[in-house]
Structure 1
Amino acid sequence: MGQVHFHTIGDVCDSKLEFGVIVAEFKDKWIFVRHRERDTWEIPGGHREKDENIDHTASRELFEETGAKKFIITPICDYSVTINNNTRFGRLFCSEIKELGELPNLEIEEIKLFNVLPENLTYPNIQKYLYEKVLLWKRQCE
């Protein structure tokens, strides 16, 4: 299990941000991805590369994992996940994808559009909270 906490952007030291995670919409549906080595669904995202800006991480990962060619991406908040007294940090984004291209031949086997959070998640105790945080943010923006 993991404990997920949300933080205002800027409250977490930038150098501690390891992940960019992007809850993404395309044609009013949520995009989830399936890694080649798993049979579960994940929110697009991934690890920050050395000396990479975390916002660039999110844009790069969104393209690599979905094939998104045109999109609007917005940082929502930073988050932390604590498992066995080990805490790691990331930044959560929301994206509206305008155009999808071909899926790059990397670690993602397929993408799928969902109306709601799929039950078969790779990290259910983390992704559920990230997804819900973006839904709450979207409702507050309406």
Structure 2
Amino acid sequence: MIKVNFYRLNTIEDSKLLFAVIMAKYNGKWIYVKHKKRNTWEIPGGHREKNETIDSTASRELFEETGAKKFNITPICIYSVDRDGAKDYTESFGQLFYAEIETLDKLPDFEINEIKLFDNIPENLTYPLIQPFLHEKVLKIFN
């Protein structure tokens, strides 16, 4: 069983924040991306690089995965994914962000094949047991 846990900002040691995930809107619609190696939709985000702040990770990943040039980004909370009963599992943490994108440029030639705008969370998610909870968390804060 997978469970998504949420924590207030600054309550988990910064060095444990390994991922940044960005719920982003453009022209009032949610942006989801399709990785070149997958045929499913996911929230923009990715791994933190060495000597990078988690805020810098979020901004970098938002650009790399969507082509966002001008945007306002806000940290929302920290999250973890708990895999009950999994052997040798170590809880990992990420930080969830919300972004309002003002300007989209050409999609950089990195990992993402396609971006698409949605009114609501799409079907055919890469992480269907995780992404709906992240989406819902942002909706609760901004609605």
* TM-score interval (norm. to shorter): over 0.9
Hey, what does 1:99 align to over in structure 2? 103
Runs of 5+ unmatched residues, structure 1: none
SS in 2 for 1:12: coil
Matches within 5 A, 1:53-68: 53-68=53-68
Q: Give the CA deviation at 1:116.
A: 0.4
Instruction: Give TM-score, length-normalised by structure 1.
Output: 0.96
Segments of structure 2 that go 5 or more residues without pairing to the other structure are none
Please give the per-residue CA displacement for 1:52-96, whole angstroms capped at 9, x wherever unaligned. 000000000000000000000000000111122431100000000
Cα separation, 1, equivalents of 2:45 and 2:123: 18
Two-structure CA RMSD over aligned residues (Å): 0.8
What code does the residue aligned with 1:15 have? S
* Structure-2-length-normalised TM-score: 0.95
Work out the CA distance in 2 between the residues paired with 1:123 and 1:97: 23
Q: Percent identity?
A: 60
Relative to its length, the structure with more helix (as a share) is 1
Mapped to 2, the partners of 1:57 and 1:117 lie a distance apart of 23
Deviating beyond 4 angstroms after TM superposition, the runs of 4 or more aligned structure 1 residues are: none
Distance apart, 1:8 and its partner CA: 0.4
